[in-house]
Chain A
Amino acid sequence: QLVQSGAEVKKPGASVKVSCKASGYTFSDYYIHWVRQAPGQGLEWMGIINPSGTSTSYAQKLQGRVTMTRDTSTSTIYMELSSLSSEDTAVYYCATGYCIGTSCYDDALDIWGQGTIVTVSS
């Protein structure tokens, strides 16, 4: 299970940091993705962080504005997005891959957080 932090309202130019806390499984074994969805729009992949938190890959359009980190001591993953604009208003999801038996498909997203609404408005 992935439980995300609550809704945020930010002003343009500010930063937001969303958390995603894992429970019920071995947190350190899994990659975590972030996906966002603007109102009435489709799904947009933002990036991924590896199990140890030592490696990340971000969507090119967000490079330089997004940072993903993880705290293994608290089983929590963080996504920080800076220089916010109205175009960043969206629901932000963390998600992890699908595992069946001993096989895992890290990029087929099975377990999702409940979503965090981020509203950017002056």
Chain B
Amino acid sequence: EIVMTQSPATLSVSPGERATLSCRASQSVGSNLAWYQQKPGQAPRLLIYGASARATVIPARFSGSGSGTEFTLTISSLQSEDFAVYYCQQYSNWPLTFGPGTKVDIK
């Protein structure tokens, strides 16, 4: 099973600032990496697939990068609706595995 880790656990950011979230895989997953946003009481929302491709209707302020074992999600200018928990997930192999999440909250 591929183990996913994320850092930091919590990121405090002011609106309008940039947020950089990290995700690491215990072995190479190539570009088979997705990012999700989850708000309280809601299902996760797919943001990024293929490590760097934005899903449909996802704003351009969200960008993903990386390959192999190291990945980054960048939110270029945080909006109020972006404060949430973000998960990375590998889909290189079953079982699919998720990182523990990074909570982005208001500074």
Q: Which residues of A contact B (CB under 8 A)?
A: 33, 42-45, 48, 57, 59-60, 93, 95, 98, 100, 105, 107-110, 112-115
In the complex, A100 Cα to B43 Cα: how many Å? 21
Annotate B6-49 by CB proximity to A: 1 below 8 A, 0 otherwise.
00000000000000000000000000101010100001111001
Q: Using known A-B contacts A108-B34, A108-B49, A115-B43, determine if residue A42 contacts B94 with beta carbons closer than 8 Å.
A: no
| Contact assessment for A42 and B46 in the assembled complex, using a CB-CB cutoff below 8 Å | no
| Contact assessment for B89 and A112 in the assembled complex, using a CB-CB cutoff below 8 Å | no
In the complex, A108 Cα to B92 Cα: how many Å? 10
In the complex, A10 Cα to B89 Cα: how many Å? 30
Residues on A with C-beta less than 8 A from B95 are 45, 57, 59-60
In the complex, A8 Cα to B100 Cα: how many Å? 26
The closest CB in chain B to the CB of A43 belongs to B98
Residues on A with C-beta less than 8 A from B87 are 42-43
Residues on A with C-beta less than 8 A from B34 are 108-109
In the complex, A115 Cα to B43 Cα: how many Å? 7
Contact of B46 among A48, A98, A115 (CB under 8 A): A98
| Contact assessment for B55 and A98 in the assembled complex, using a CB-CB cutoff below 8 Å | yes
Give 15 A-B pairs besides A43-B44, A45-B98 with Cβ atoms closer than 8 angstroms.
Answer: A42-B98, A43-B38, A48-B94, A59-B95, A60-B95, A93-B43, A100-B56, A107-B91, A108-B49, A108-B50, A108-B91, A109-B36, A109-B89, A112-B44, A114-B43
